[in-house]
Chain A
């Protein structure tokens, strides 16, 4: 998940300000008093702040400091000349991005796939979690859970290779079945029309089981008395799930949804890179693969950085918007 903001904000909580302003009015300037109070609080809770430290340092070093590298998006970066020696070109790379045809292709492909994932892949773990929750036998429940987690631990390389072997028209098992049933072989791997369904199904297969963990954890917090009283009132299992379980895990769903929306342009490079080839590139090329191809393969580092930065900014805006929306509807949001 890609929204590393908020976790690292070390600023003192808002409660501090409120208490400070309530008590204000005496001769000492407010600001100094606030600062002093703040440090006093920090000192009093030093153990807690000490515990934050490793996390804060991690984000600082691995997330915030590297952002300095974004500067190359405004340069014509040449490795040999380095940061200091490369020429500054202002917004040239962004202008190029927004004026090239590829931009709309990338935007369309990325949005389409993200949207498909949101519609088809996002609800699957919720449904799965509800189903698993209803299973009576502990043994069956545990085995099912373990088995559906498994794909999450396989790398995309393995998964895509498995699918390759099954889907190829050169003797792939699925096509063999289709042919045996009297059909025409389908070129799943090269037909642009099949790329998106294949992509979404692979995503579901790999991540749905893993995604259930959080929902199952949320479900365990539901007060069992609620179910008992609902049962007394004559509610069946379906009604119980609809009126008790689902509302109970709604905050979890919302939080995950917001985080998901933050990743809307951030599909991840690996999966698409592996299933894409020159025949389905027109529907498969997304921002992540484009950054890789232009940046790493073709060595246009600055341009690739500009594309990546654009993607990041859009992601940030989306998270903020989604969060606002969630709060407006009375949910908690992620911050």
Chain B
């Protein structure tokens, strides 16, 4: 980072970070003289602390099944945006790119400028890809065009997880309303729920992405929309400007002031948050309902004698706001598997890559990427219930692949692990109450160009408010000022697009 030519920085960054991208480019995309394409380089996002080893058991099994040589380029979720952006800028893209953040400005621009193949017309040629629900395809489009294969997820996975054993210790009921949850949070902070005689617990255990994840979901219970919402005047406005959102902020701040949220959550990284939860520092987590299983396993690993138990809650409500849940998956669409035109040059090659994705949707690769290899990582009992044999081994060798599945919904395995079945069931129930983003398939040029910057500032203001650096008036002033930076224009453009789309 001595001199400052961005391409150089971006180039080296891409090289260094994506590892194989620069060196392996030629080999990865091969296929000049009509040769059948038999390698796939795949930039894939991992949500686990470690990446699986190259040519590990799962990777080899996937290669055997698909008949393709796979070159994984693993990208940690926390840096996914910057790595994808630098790969885009330096045009060092692999054959297949996992794009999880659908609001990433650079990605959207790259798509609309034609950096990726339009795939919709090809989907019908494939057995599994043709089965993707039309609603999912609709919500995956930009400007009415589909620039990648949508990843299929449950409609809404979020909920509230509360330490059941702590509730029992304090003689409290499982909370189902925000009022009850408030009581529980304060009790967890003040009444020594783990009974060790020390003041070392708190209620909510949040992390730096609060504005995007944990708190956002809570604000949804107060009535705030999924990133954007339609107000009474027919305008499409961002939810962080709404009264419901601000009411939720005031509520959350009051809890923070009472010590019922971990003090420095705005600086806490995901892995540290998980460690804290495993160690029993906090008793309420707003997160995916599927996480309870991991929390339990982690708690057990941290302390074999732990009494940790989790209550999974998917029906939290506030006041007279009807039951609702914001989607954390863009309404069942967890991003795209996009195929760059620069590396996959011909339609034949495109069909090969699409065929590869299609084959991953079969049951066998799905099982491989979910449970691992039978007898090695897991086993079925007589009722078809899955039990993981060695948790650590599974976490290292199998779990990283889970987020690379083109669909989470191929098979639902009954599990011997506690909380898995319950989590699946509750997530399915969520679908009925899900709140979607009215702006998701709408188009706004200003949104594509400026949203990342605007959202960052709103996020900063939220954090400052939570930590007591600014008050609500100053928060509102910051949000007002964003109007001049493009937010007003975004609202205008979305509103116009919405009016057009809905007659």
What is the minimal beta-carbon distance from A322 to any residue of chain B, in angstroms?
A: 18
Q: Are A78 and B113 in contact (CB under 8 A)?
A: yes
Given contacts A63-B3, A79-B115, A81-B113, A299 and B460 within 8 Å (CB-CB): no
Of the listed stretches B36-44, B224-232, B259-267, chain A binds B259-267
What is the minimal beta-carbon distance from A217 to any residue of chain B, in angstroms?
A: 24
| Interface residues in A243-286 (C-beta closer than 8 Å to B) | 266, 268-270, 277-279, 281
Of the listed stretches A6-14, A26-34, A140-148, A300-308, chain B binds A300-308
Residues of A within 8 A of B456 (CB): 293
Complex partner residue of B106 from A69, A277, A298, A308, CB under 8 angstroms: A298
What is the minimal beta-carbon distance from B35 to any residue of chain A, in angstroms?
A: 26
What is the minimal beta-carbon distance from A87 to any residue of chain B, in angstroms?
A: 12
What is the minimal beta-carbon distance from A260 to any residue of chain B, in angstroms?
A: 14
Complex: how many Å from CA A111 to CA B477? Answer: 28
1/0 per residue, CB under 8 A from A, across B1-22: the answer is 1111111111001000000000
Given contacts A168-B264, A169-B264, A297-B85, A304 and B6 within 8 Å (CB-CB): yes
1/0 per residue, CB under 8 A from A, across B80-97: the answer is 011001101111000000
The answer, yes or no, to whether B109 is at the interface (CB within 8 Å) is yes
Complex: how many Å from CA A308 to CA B9? Answer: 11
Residues of B within 8 A of A79 (CB): 88-91, 106, 110, 115
Chain A to chain B contacts (Cβ below 8 Å), 30 pairs: A4-B2, A67-B5, A72-B6, A78-B113, A79-B88, A79-B91, A80-B110, A81-B113, A82-B91, A168-B264, A168-B267, A170-B264, A187-B263, A266-B2, A269-B1, A277-B463, A278-B266, A278-B460, A278-B464, A291-B4, A295-B9, A296-B85, A296-B86, A296-B89, A298-B105, A299-B89, A299-B105, A308-B3, A308-B4, A312-B4
Q: Are A297 and B266 in contact (CB under 8 A)?
A: no
Residues of A within 8 A of B114 (CB): 80
The answer, yes or no, to whether B169 is at the interface (CB within 8 Å) is no
The answer, yes or no, to whether B453 is at the interface (CB within 8 Å) is yes
Complex: how many Å from CA A45 to CA B2? Answer: 32
The answer, yes or no, to whether B66 is at the interface (CB within 8 Å) is no
The answer, yes or no, to whether B63 is at the interface (CB within 8 Å) is no
Complex: how many Å from CA A296 to CA B6? Answer: 9
Q: Are B4 and A297 in contact (CB under 8 A)?
A: no
Residues of A within 8 A of B105 (CB): 298-299
The answer, yes or no, to whether B467 is at the interface (CB within 8 Å) is yes
Complex partner residue of B263 from A78, A82, A170, CB under 8 angstroms: A170
Q: Are B82 and A69 in contact (CB under 8 A)?
A: no
The interface on chain B, measured as residues whose beta carbon lies within 8 A of the other chain's beta carbons, has a size of: 44
What is the minimal beta-carbon distance from B4 to any residue of chain A, in angstroms?
A: 3
Residue of A nearest to B5 (CB): A69
What is the minimal beta-carbon distance from B82 to any residue of chain A, in angstroms?
A: 5
Complex: how many Å from CA A169 to CA B262? Answer: 9
The answer, yes or no, to whether B459 is at the interface (CB within 8 Å) is yes
Q: Are A66 and B467 in contact (CB under 8 A)?
A: no
Q: Are A190 and B10 in contact (CB under 8 A)?
A: no
Residues of B within 8 A of A80 (CB): 110, 113-115
| Interface residues in B112-133 (C-beta closer than 8 Å to A) | 113-115
The answer, yes or no, to whether A203 is at the interface (CB within 8 Å) is no
Q: Are A277 and B85 in contact (CB under 8 A)?
A: no
What is the minimal beta-carbon distance from A62 to any residue of chain B, in angstroms?
A: 8
The answer, yes or no, to whether B469 is at the interface (CB within 8 Å) is yes
Query: By CB atoms of chain A within 10 A, which of B89, B105, B200, B266 has the most?
Result: B89
The answer, yes or no, to whether A152 is at the interface (CB within 8 Å) is no
Residue of A nearest to B340 (CB): A80
Complex: how many Å from CA A74 to CA B6? Answer: 12
Residues of B within 8 A of A268 (CB): 1
The answer, yes or no, to whether A116 is at the interface (CB within 8 Å) is no
Query: By CB atoms of chain B within 10 A, which of A269, A292, A294, A299 has the most?
Result: A299
The answer, yes or no, to whether B208 is at the interface (CB within 8 Å) is yes
The answer, yes or no, to whether B452 is at the interface (CB within 8 Å) is yes
Complex: how many Å from CA A82 to CA B452? Answer: 23
Complex: how many Å from CA A63 to CA B382? Answer: 66
Residues of B within 8 A of A164 (CB): 267
Complex partner residue of A297 from B90, B113, B452, B469, CB under 8 angstroms: B452
Q: Are A277 and B267 in contact (CB under 8 A)?
A: yes
Q: Are A66 and B85 in contact (CB under 8 A)?
A: no
The answer, yes or no, to whether A324 is at the interface (CB within 8 Å) is no
Given contacts A268-B1, A312-B4, A295 and B106 within 8 Å (CB-CB): no
Q: Are A311 and B4 in contact (CB under 8 A)?
A: yes
Q: Are A4 and B3 in contact (CB under 8 A)?
A: yes
Residues of B within 8 A of A20 (CB): none
Complex: how many Å from CA A294 to CA B137? Answer: 31
Q: Are B452 and A298 in contact (CB under 8 A)?
A: yes
Residue of B nearest to A298 (CB): B452
The answer, yes or no, to whether A150 is at the interface (CB within 8 Å) is no
Residues of A within 8 A of B467 (CB): 187, 190, 279
| Interface residues in B208-241 (C-beta closer than 8 Å to A) | 208
Q: Are A279 and B13 in contact (CB under 8 A)?
A: no
Given contacts A279-B464, A298-B105, A299-B105, A305 and B4 within 8 Å (CB-CB): yes
Residues of A within 8 A of B115 (CB): 79-80
Residues of B within 8 A of A68 (CB): 5
Q: Are B452 and A187 in contact (CB under 8 A)?
A: no
Residues of B within 8 A of A296 (CB): 9-10, 13, 82, 85-86, 89
The answer, yes or no, to whether A309 is at the interface (CB within 8 Å) is yes
Complex partner residue of A312 from B3, B106, B262, B281, CB under 8 angstroms: B3
Q: Are A299 and B85 in contact (CB under 8 A)?
A: yes
Q: Are B7 and A190 in contact (CB under 8 A)?
A: no
The answer, yes or no, to whether A189 is at the interface (CB within 8 Å) is yes
What is the minimal beta-carbon distance from B91 to any residue of chain A, in angstroms?
A: 6
Given contacts A66-B7, A69-B8, A299-B106, A189 and B264 within 8 Å (CB-CB): yes
Complex: how many Å from CA A171 to CA B281? Answer: 11
Q: Are B266 and A190 in contact (CB under 8 A)?
A: yes
| Interface residues in B253-295 (C-beta closer than 8 Å to A) | 262-264, 266-267, 281
